[in-house]
Amino acid sequence: MKNILSVLLITIFAILTSNSSAQNVTIPLRFDKYYTYAEINEAIKALNKAYPDLTEAVFVGKSDENREIWALEINNKLTGNKLSKPGVYVDGNIHGNEIQASEVVLYFADYLLKNYKINPEIKKLVDKNAYYLIPTVNVDGRYHFMKDANHSSMNRGLRIPKDDDRDGLFDEDFADDLDGDGNICQMRKKDPFGKYKTDPDEPRVMIRIKDGEKGEWTLLGSEGIDNDNDGQINEDSEGYVDGNRNWGYNWEPNYVQRGSGDFPFSGTGIKAIGNYLNERPNILVVYAFHNTGGMILRVPGSKELSPLNPNDIAVFDNLGEHAEKIIPGYKYLISWKDLYTTYGDFTDFTFGVLGAYSFVGELFKSEDETYSNEPENKKEDEGFSFRENTETQKERLKFNDKVVHGALFKDWTPYKHPVYGDIEIGGWVKLSSRLPHTFMLQDLVHRNASAVIYAASQTPEVSMDIFDVKKLESNLYQVRVRLVNSKIIPTMCYYAIKKNLYPKDILKINGKNIKVVSGGILENSYTNKVNYKEYKPEVQFLTIPGNDKVEFQFLISGNGNVKFDYNSQKAGSVIKTYNLK
């Protein structure tokens, strides 16, 4: 009986603590903190519960460590089903350490939903498009980054075991939190033959010695010990497959592209998301959020995929240049040309396979961490790098001391290492360097979500006009039809047209008592120049450019109602009926 009572009490306690945990996530969401993996799933379900008429929580699949991947889909069913509208896909955190990316996706969802009834512009965008949102792609990476001791670049890849040091063991020698503070910092040792010395202006910073100078410090790398007793430290952590190099488009093996995996879609979660995307062929805009550097990157990821069609470039330029203005200091760039070459890249997949205009948002600029009243000193010739120089470190330390009061940097502290002896541990902590302090998070998530909102506002809006109807003889009519797209994004990207990725838009004409004798694109309405289609003129294939129109002319015999039915995989449908009499 005692055992039964114990089990019952444990069960009740588990239910109570589970409910208590679920109540931590409230609607509207808050953005003065970073959500854990479990809280993100709770947030998706909480948003779905709060807005059941506009949302659906969709199980996408599981990760390599069997964690669930969830999507939140936003759609007003009263204005059409999801697949009948332009689709906007947004995700984040494909790299496990890039956690603020998930916050942008959650903020975007929260902002659309809480403003739906009070902001006419937001209501219009929600009614117009379908939104597919996966806040966390690399759920394993986020879980371990938040739960375990790390530095800002750890737990980046997928959790696919790999024998890095080829000793027959897998992932057996991670970095270790030697001082138990929840961070993996750096180790240094006093050494007169070391390559570094203390910066005379800032004792927490080390600078490389010049030729002939006496050294003071040797840098020993990240905190850790030799867990497998092979004479090496931290040499076999989590297996490295990069989720953003594992997609089945322009993929290259590991000897060409580090982190690509054994084959495309070898990541369990990556494959699940690939299937999810392929089941949503209406997706026309993609935003994938990463960190760091303050960039809006467009495809392609490698030179081999260039050049793009000038008309596609014009669309990218419009969306990218507006994003630059929405997010001050961010740069709109071409991935391969302005940053570096990548293969098996996610946005190359979404552009090259789905035909969607695709961007990466590289969130946060560490140079925003300033303690100065001087204008930002921009050095364009330095390029974009994840490394930082000594002066930058000193500036950031002032920010650490005066603005966030020591939260980002651990002062160097003595430690007795079992191999190295007397060392010091210190440096930038886990929630630093690539991540904004949470007081800066609200501005970051809002501005980046606003860039997506602008792109969503430019998905195609097609209207139809039946005009210039003329009766030529007793029951023969000339009918002109104009299809207008009032937005920047065309109904089909030009790369998709070139590669025949999916069917073109279709205009169909039918009626009970009519016959379409001939029809085709009206090339010049003044000279009556028409490019007539030879067979089945009642079915016309087309695409409508951004901010432009396409006109058709038909000769129709008969009378009564004629149905003009336009349908597009990416831009939805428009139907009109005209009575010939």
- State how far the alpha carbon of 569 is from the alpha carbons of 4, 131, 390, 493, in Å: 59, 15, 53, 12
- What pTM was computed for the model? 0.93
Judge contact between 83 and 281, C-beta under 8 A: yes
Using the 8-state DSSP alphabet, how is residue 338 labeled?
I
What is the pLDDT at residue 147? Answer: 96
Query: Could you list the pLDDT tens digit for every one of the 581 residues in the chain?
Result: 444 434 343 333 333 333 434 458 999 999 999 999 999 999 999 999 999 999 999 999 999 999 999 999 999 999 999 999 999 999 999 999 999 999 999 999 999 999 999 999 999 999 999 999 999 999 999 999 999 999 999 999 999 988 787 888 887 878 999 999 999 999 999 999 999 999 999 999 999 999 999 999 999 999 999 998 888 888 878 889 999 999 999 999 999 999 999 999 999 999 999 999 999 999 999 999 999 999 999 999 999 999 999 999 999 999 999 999 999 999 999 999 999 999 999 999 999 999 999 999 999 998 899 998 876 554 443 333 344 578 889 999 999 999 999 999 999 999 999 999 999 999 999 999 999 999 999 999 999 999 999 999 999 999 999 999 999 988 999 999 999 999 999 999 999 999 999 999 999 999 999 999 999 999 999 999 999 999 999 999 999 999 999 999 999 999 999 999 999 999 999 999 999 99
How many other C-beta atoms are found inside a 10 Å radius of the C-beta of residue 499? 12
What is the pLDDT at residue 388? Answer: 53
Judge contact between 284 and 130, C-beta under 8 A: no
Distance CA 7, CA 465 (A): 71
Specify the residue for token string 């998530």: 445
From the centroid of its chain, how far is CA 97? 14
Q: What angle do CA 435, 100, 347 make, to 5 degrees?
A: 115
Residue 176 identity: D
What is the pLDDT at residue 40? Answer: 98
What is the pLDDT at residue 376? Answer: 56
What is the pLDDT at residue 385? Answer: 37
Pick left, alpha or beta for residue 180 (phi over 0 → left; psi -120 to 50 → alpha; otherwise beta). left
* Beta strand residue intervals within 200-282, DSSP E: 202-208, 217-222, 240-241
What is the pLDDT at residue 367? Answer: 86
Judge contact between 580 and 474, C-beta under 8 A: no
Q: What is the CATH topology of the domain spanning 462-580?
A: Immunoglobulin-like (2.60.40)
Beta bridge partners of 578: 562
CA nearest to 553, candidates 575, 524, 576, 580: 524
Q: What angle do CA 551, 552, 555 make, to 5 degrees?
A: 155
What is the pLDDT at residue 375? Answer: 60
CA nearest to 448, candidates 159, 183, 50, 91: 91
Q: Which residues contact 366 (CB under 8 A, 6 or more apart)?
A: 292, 388, 392, 396, 433, 434
Judge contact between 406 and 433, C-beta under 8 A: no
3-state per-residue secondary structure call for 481-547: EEEEECCCCCCCCHHHHHHCCCCCEEEEEECCCEEEEEEEEEEECCCCEEEECCCCCCEEEECCCCC
Judge contact between 121 and 58, C-beta under 8 A: no
Distance CA 137, CA 92 (A): 6
